[in-house]
Structure 1
Amino acid sequence: MHDFEFLEPRTVAEASRMLADLGDECRVMASGTALLLAMRQRMVTPSHVVSALRLDGLHGIEFDSQQGLRIGALVKHAELARAEVVRRHYPVLAAMAAQVANPQVRNQGTLGGNLCYADPATDPPGCLMAHGAQVVLASARGERTLPMEEFLVDYYVTALEPDELLVAIRVPPPQPGTDGRYTRFMRTAAEHRPLASVSLVARREGALCREARLVVGASVPIPGRLARAEAFLRGKTIDPMVAAEAADIVAADIDPISDNRGCADFRRDMVRVVCRRTIAELFGLKGEET
């Protein structure tokens, strides 16, 4: 690892000015679980690292029945998983956070750092997208809010401007009758990153689907909603045939990646299986989850 200067600003405006002045020679660090690894491997060699840990307003989890959930960017995955307000109002988010990577990462890594790294094979982005989440970005110029769909731009690329920091994540209040599931597929028990993931949040009445938000992650360059499958599920009574047809639509509409963890065809097949199981579990189709 090359030598670097470690900077500890106290305000977002101060951090933003540092980023603007230093440009490409600088990186922001939250907990460092991803950045330090990249620096050790010399994938990035910044001359300056700006720590976000002392910035005001980036911690804490708050819930309001009208405004929904606000998660500070520096909230750790383990904090999100065990927060009572999240477990009560957003159980799918809590369950997802409890599965991220491994215990070391869950207890050290932050939600904001995870989103800014934009690893396609990670858990939070797709699950947050299915909940209609937005990110709050701030700089010395002010704040702006983006939906997750606009924040995630490409493979390891976000919409952050060079002088911006992610300061919070906002999740709308859940509507009555809303339920959801997050399912991930791992090739082996030793893996920490899913090969395929499906997030499904639906407003339902028993087996009747009133509305659905369905997102595939890990097998694609960036998580994305499956509009055609969502439209197919809307207004239908869910049975095994409907679940299977929706999964076929999802598999046909994704553009999976190929790498040393799995070829595109394998990933497409796994997404189909995981999607069918997720729909079946959410709508209580006994014996259809496997």
Structure 2
Amino acid sequence: MELYFQIKSDYMNDGVSQTVKLIIWNILRNPNIPCEIRNQSLYRLLVGVCEELIFNEIEAVYWSIFLEDYVWTEIDDSLHDLLLFSGFAVKKEICDSVEPFLFYLETSHDKFLISYEIWEQNHSPFIQIGILELNSKYQKLTSFDNRDSGELFNFNFYVDDILHACPPYSIPELKAEADDKKDENERAESFRSNSFSLFFENKRMSSSDNLLPDLATNASTGQSSLVYNPGLLQKIDSICNVYLNVDIPKIVTDPSKTKKKRSSLLSLLSDSAQN
């Protein structure tokens, strides 16, 4: 087990090579892949098996032939199991020692060896792949312009990969959480806005309430206090302007008995001035 992880650690330092990834992309362009499994994340499944079995370029090309003969034609069983079985069969065909890989697979996948032996019995002897065939396949799968006549490229694999790399907020659960945070922020902003409005309204009303007592106190002290209190004069002036700008409805009475009435505030100011 330690030997396997040591080999895999060295392998994963560089990760799956770009050539292996290109081979996988070209494998997925095979028109013989059943439609029933095209909706699955095939690219990530194939890359995952390459990482588990530490495939190099030659093993990936060899595996592509096994996929055509032993996997794409069988979709009744678990796809991931078929990928592992065919991948391990490639290891047995090419590698001298598969004990580290077998020990890992037996440990990480329940009853792997028993299931693999049943699968192997149903497919052995495996096809023999010659050097010329392997080289031809390698040239084809490592080409960037791998288009057979009449083949239609399937972009679903690219779409799956893009969706897999989509931002978290596009995931329903995370999007709902983001919406909740947005609503919470809006409620907090509304609360702050209302609090400021209430604060200034209370301050304005408090200033108005304190204005008349200050005015009466200063007015009762005589004219001299008004002269030497500019702040009070400004308050009086502002209140008078507000009072004079109010449209007071006229009451029609007998002209002979009409007498201009003065407000208590103006009377107070007049009396204070006379004193």
TM-score (norm 2): 0.24
Is the helix fraction higher in 1 or 2? 2
How does the TM-score come out when normalised to structure 1?
Answer: 0.23
